[in-house]
Structure 1
Amino acid sequence: MSDTITILVGTRKGLFVVERDAGRGDGGTDWTVSEPHFLGHIIQHAIADPRDPNRFVVAAGTGHLGPTVFRTGDRGQTWREATAPPAFHAGDRLERSLDKVFWLSPGHPDDAGVLYAGGVPQGLFRSEDHGDTWAPLDGWCDHPMWETWAEFPQQGTPDGAMLHSINVDPRDGAHLYVGLSSGGVFESTDAGSDWRPLNRGVKAAFLPEPEVEFGHDPHCVRMHPLMPDRLYQQNHCGMYRLDRPGERWERIGNNMPHDVGDIGFPIELHPRDPDVAWVFPMDGTDVWPRTSPDGRPAAYVTRDAGTTWKRQDVGLPERGWLTVKRQAMTTDEADPVGVYFGTTSGELWASADGGEHWNPVAAHLPEIYSVEVAAGVGG
């Protein structure tokens, strides 16, 4: 593997590819930022396929032409649009029409070519040919409980009620988790033919009865790749951890400083240590859009599965009203781990030492929707 670090940055006005060629060093000045791909398109999410580092897949909103997927097999030198983008079936019984392709996830490591997409409204779609053709996952989209679990027609969520956080168990490609905003976390053990809610212990303070089976608002759900029975969740109502086969989430956000709280959008994991996770807290009061508590931005890291948290703000502005969306924070696989986040004000930040020090990588980009690391290539 080469020393190249490639970051895919999805924004309100296109995709930017940010690279560093010769190791990370300590500064933020030796990164290069590409010209925008898909200038003018909303890039909700852009990922690299871990099974083939040359393949990137992009979820795009193309104005009056609607939501679609673009893909490349040569790291962005050439792009092709999906010949059959994600969409509900013609004649859909609920007359659903896809507004956004919101989330992308690769399938199981042994399922070459399989990708999943989550949409707005809360559809789940699957491709078996690297993203060229897509079909609804009928076990979800036509589930007899879909209308009860999902929010349709869409109501309160500013960007629409979306399906996100598609997690595939690396031990078993038939074992899936998804998150619904609004709706909750749901699990399938039969490749998506049937589903059940998995929300015990999670608060839903915005509902008349806060202890409900479903109706929650997870912002981001992550499964640890080396310990797939451990899930972390950043929710509208706190931060949680679940260790399977347990059924009840533990609110690890109660251990955060009281004046900061445990509300935010992303939660990201150390690739090798299931006890380590990062969050970027937001003001959890009635401030909207969300921003850094008291205008003092910082990441927080736990190294003991949420028992304690440490503030990480060295290099960040002392005062700043930053907002970080649910797909706009990520980690790499280096040692020490690199951590990256992007803001709605168009700034990309990087840490080469697990969040202990931060450096600006790019500024004046459009509003950042997603930040994902793509593996380098070479020897």
Structure 2
Amino acid sequence: MLLRGTLAVAVVVGLATAGPLRAEGPWTLLGDHGLTAGLAGPRGAGVSFVGVSVDGRTLAAVTASGKAWESSDQGASWRAVEAIDATTLLHPERAEAAPPGVPDALTIRHPYRAGWLYALADDLYRSEDDGATWVGLTDEAALPMIGATPSAIAFDPADPERIFVATEAGLWRSADAGLTWVGLNATLPNFPAGLFRPLDDGAPPLLEIEGLGPALLPGGAPRWILAAQPSPAAPADARTAFEVFLAGGAVGGSGRAGSEEAVTALAVSGGPEPLQFVGMRDGRVWISADAGASWRPAGEGLPRDGRSVVDLWADPGASLAAIAVFAGPSGGRVFRTVDGGRLWDDLTADLPAGEIRAATASADGEAVYAAGDDGVFFASASLRSPTPATSWQAVGDELPVAAPRDLFVNSRTGQLYVSLEGYGVYRRRAPDVLRSLRLLNAADLSDRPVAPGGLLTVVGAAVGTATIDGAPAPVLFASPEESQIQAPFDAAAGRAATVRLSTSEGVETLRFPVQSLAPAIFTTDGEPLVVDAGTGRLLDLTRPARPGSRVLILSAGLGAVNPTWPAGVAAPTENPPAVVAAVSAFLDGVPLEVVGASLAGGYVGAYWVEAQLPSSLRGGLGRLEIEAGGRRSNTVQLFLAP
């Protein structure tokens, strides 16, 4: 990302940058406990019960997962409890009346409004005349605004207009007896469980939520947003509909819930000859080398005691490595193969007792992570050879106590993600980052080439001095976790440059490609750093780009400038040097008028590309790119106002 030393300039243009990658620190919640899904407020997972105490001071709820919660401030905050004390709650009377065509509705009498009834069915209905007439309260344009199938309703003795309803989409409150609603799900720890689907741009991974589909966390968004359509980068979870065949005959079930032959885990490796690994409820693991045309059983080393396979991870960069996790609070639970599943060895060692529910590994094959009921753990273990693993270590102790659903490590950015049932997604720096030195293009933390004058992020070391092909490369920022250096403007292009880094561990030599032009758009967490040229405000979900406006795209890799400028020096804010190459910009593939391109005043190693947006925009998300010298940049998503 951009240099910490340049952040003062951001104030001038109103741009808030992310600074360098965060150092190793505590787990951080991404978003909140709710999910934007087109309802009256953020939704959650299902809530099965809601009640209010007789004195009106306590709001109680039980989630569909069985966890009990209480609130003393109308749902602004919650505390977990072992169980709800039903003797303290108000219990409204049931009534026999029901709306026409809804004979199975659960009808509740309002305890403080004579003649008022509420019927709970697929939607919520209200009658003000003891059931003679009814009005639907939540069915709006065929989409229930608080989610379908309300299961419980509660009334506040302090305010007859205030009611609470539990639905399959969480917990909801109305201050006008059901005419309008607000969600209480942003604060109630009841986030829908999801599995990670990695994206290619260094952003937080997409979250595939069971029964709902993919969700994204765009920059500037306070919470995860349910995508309208599945992403090609996130194939539907195959765990519930997958058949395993061997010699033309089915040896596994079709994924029916509860079946001993149901598929419980699935992973696909990368490499030139990818393998499919499938885990079963009965503990068997099957492997296919021909996209499922034929299958072979896993080889020696795995448990044979019938325990379920709860998770599988396969190396996206090499076809032979995989991790399998088996159910059980003790004994062998985490297993490794480095030869395509023919032999497995037990990595459990001193892993603390307790169920392990998810595992992942770094793509360089030097670290394995396991998440269980007692937290997330890390061990150094090769996935290229069956060498012994090191002792397991806890990865922080700040996570709430909850069952993990999935783990994901972005080996490029060094971020570790865990999906916790009820609580949502947490992120922190992966411990193995500190052990492996790597170079990244600082614009988007990718391995795309850098241009002369461009920025490189060094992950894993504090750099004292640096050279690129023997020429000094200014060190602009240094910490034990990462550093940033700038390639000289006269660096030789067209080949992999030799980068020599002086660190506390000695001199490290790495290679990184340099091109004369390597356009890229700066991103933070996958979101572009693009500002409105008129207001200087960063464009995001809350401030979309306006039709007819001009935008400034913070860019990298645009090469030579006129007049020439030295590396390591911030560009002037007045009359900054202009880019020599012709620069183009595109929105959804349509060329934009480029007003100008120059070094970004006050920044080191960055450029502004100013582009004119058309007078009409379709609204939503647009695909933004720049181009120089026939080379396209990374594609970023820009929020557009209609």
TM bin (shorter chain)? 0.5 to 0.7
Work out the CA distance in 2 between the residues paired with 1:115 and 1:314: 29
For the structure 1 residues 233 and 53, does the alpha-carbon distance in structure 2 shift closer, same or farther, using more than 3 Å as the test?
A: same
- Partner AA of 1:218 in structure 2: V
Work out the CA distance in 1 between the residues paired with 2:201 and 2:309: 28
CA contact (8 A) 1:220 1:266 kept: yes
What is the aligned partner in structure 1 of residue 228 from structure 2?
A: 80
CA contact (8 A) 1:339 1:355 kept: no
For the structure 1 residues 54 and 164, does the alpha-carbon distance in structure 2 shift closer, same or farther, using more than 3 Å as the test?
A: same
CA contact (8 A) 1:164 1:180 kept: yes
For the structure 1 residues 45 and 266, does the alpha-carbon distance in structure 2 shift closer, same or farther, using more than 3 Å as the test?
A: closer
- Partner AA of 1:37 in structure 2: T
Work out the CA distance in 1 between the residues paired with 2:27 and 2:288: 45
- Partner AA of 1:24 in structure 2: R
CA contact (8 A) 2:286 2:298 kept: yes
Pair 1:332 & 2:423 matched: no
What is the aligned partner in structure 2 of residue 36 from structure 1?
A: 35
CA shift, 1:353, in A, is 4.6
What is the aligned partner in structure 1 of residue 356 from structure 2?
A: 264
- Per-residue CA deviations over 1:107-134 (Å, capped at 9, x if unaligned) read xxxxx879353133xx13xxxxxxxxxx
What is the aligned partner in structure 1 of residue 369 from structure 2?
A: 278
For the structure 1 residues 115 and 171, does the alpha-carbon distance in structure 2 shift closer, same or farther, using more than 3 Å as the test?
A: farther
What is the aligned partner in structure 2 of residue 376 from structure 1?
A: 526
What is the aligned partner in structure 1 of residue 290 from structure 2?
A: 190
- Partner AA of 1:323 in structure 2: A
For the structure 1 residues 77 and 256, does the alpha-carbon distance in structure 2 shift closer, same or farther, using more than 3 Å as the test?
A: closer
> 1:119 aligns to what SS in structure 2?
helix
What is the aligned partner in structure 2 of residue 135 from structure 1?
A: none
Pair 1:351 & 2:501 matched: no
Pair 1:302 & 2:380 matched: yes
CA shift, 1:241, in A, is 1.2
CA contact (8 A) 1:342 1:348 kept: yes
For the structure 1 residues 26 and 307, does the alpha-carbon distance in structure 2 shift closer, same or farther, using more than 3 Å as the test?
A: closer
CA contact (8 A) 1:218 1:234 kept: yes
CA shift, 1:377, in A, is 4.9
Counterpart selection for 1:24 from 22, 25, 42: 22
Work out the CA distance in 2 between the residues paired with 1:350 and 1:152: 31
Counterpart selection for 2:211 from 49, 55, 61: 61
What is the aligned partner in structure 1 of residue 273 from structure 2?
A: 172
> 2:316 aligns to what SS in structure 1?
coil
CA shift, 1:198, in A, is 1.6
For the structure 1 residues 244 and 153, does the alpha-carbon distance in structure 2 shift closer, same or farther, using more than 3 Å as the test?
A: same
CA contact (8 A) 2:276 2:289 kept: yes
Deviates more, 1:188-197 or 1:175-184: 175-184
CA contact (8 A) 2:311 2:325 kept: yes
> 1:179 aligns to what SS in structure 2?
strand
What is the aligned partner in structure 2 of residue 95 from structure 1?
A: none
Work out the CA distance in 2 between the residues paired with 1:172 and 1:192: 13
Unaligned runs of 5+ in 1: 4-19, 63-68, 83-105, 107-111, 125-138, 207-215, 283-290, 358-373
Task: Compare the two structures and name the one with the higher strand fraction.
Answer: 2
Work out the CA distance in 1 between the residues paired with 2:294 and 2:287: 8
CA shift, 1:264, in A, is 0.9
Work out the CA distance in 2 between the residues paired with 1:30 and 1:153: 36
Work out the CA distance in 1 between the residues paired with 2:278 and 2:229: 25
CA contact (8 A) 2:417 2:427 kept: yes
CA shift, 1:167, in A, is 0.9
CA contact (8 A) 1:176 1:189 kept: yes
Task: State the identity %.
Answer: 10
What is the aligned partner in structure 2 of residue 248 from structure 1?
A: 343
Work out the CA distance in 2 between the residues paired with 1:246 and 1:141: 17
CA contact (8 A) 2:30 2:427 kept: no
For the structure 1 residues 141 and 80, does the alpha-carbon distance in structure 2 shift closer, same or farther, using more than 3 Å as the test?
A: farther
Work out the CA distance in 1 between the residues paired with 2:316 and 2:361: 9
- Per-residue CA deviations over 1:250-303 (Å, capped at 9, x if unaligned) read 1222x325xx2485121111122x1321113x4xxxxxxxx32xxxx4513224
Which of structures 1 and 2 has the bigger CA Rg? 2
CA shift, 1:165, in A, is 2.6
TM-score by length of 1: 0.54
Counterpart selection for 1:238 from 324, 328, 333: 333
- Partner AA of 1:232 in structure 2: I
For the structure 1 residues 29 and 267, does the alpha-carbon distance in structure 2 shift closer, same or farther, using more than 3 Å as the test?
A: closer
- Partner AA of 1:230 in structure 2: A
Work out the CA distance in 1 between the residues paired with 2:341 and 2:262: 27
Pair 1:115 & 2:235 matched: yes
CA contact (8 A) 1:151 1:182 kept: no
Pair 1:226 & 2:346 matched: no
Pair 1:312 & 2:393 matched: yes
What is the aligned partner in structure 1 of residue 253 from structure 2?
A: 150
Work out the CA distance in 1 between the residues paired with 2:205 and 2:359: 25
- Per-residue CA deviations over 1:117-155 (Å, capped at 9, x if unaligned) read 3133xx13xxxxxxxxxxxxxx74899543x43387543
For the structure 1 residues 332 and 54, does the alpha-carbon distance in structure 2 shift closer, same or farther, using more than 3 Å as the test?
A: closer
- Partner AA of 1:343 in structure 2: L
- Partner AA of 2:409 in structure 1: T
CA shift, 1:220, in A, is 1.7
CA contact (8 A) 2:197 2:206 kept: yes
Question: Looking at both structures, which has the greater relative contact order when contacts are Cα pairs under 8 Å and sequence separation is at least 6?
Answer: 1
Work out the CA distance in 2 between the residues paired with 1:238 and 1:220: 10
CA shift, 1:244, in A, is 1.4
- Over the aligned positions, Cα root-mean-square deviation in angstroms equals 4.6
What is the aligned partner in structure 2 of residue 89 from structure 1?
A: none
- Per-residue CA deviations over 1:209-228 (Å, capped at 9, x if unaligned) read xxxxxxx6222222223332
Work out the CA distance in 2 between the residues paired with 1:252 and 1:350: 24
Work out the CA distance in 1 between the residues paired with 2:305 and 2:377: 25
> 1:115 aligns to what SS in structure 2?
coil
- Per-residue CA deviations over 1:74-107 (Å, capped at 9, x if unaligned) read 898783346xxxxxxxxxxxxxxxxxxxxxxx9x
TM-score by length of 2: 0.34
CA shift, 1:195, in A, is 2.1
Work out the CA distance in 1 between the residues paired with 2:254 and 2:326: 17
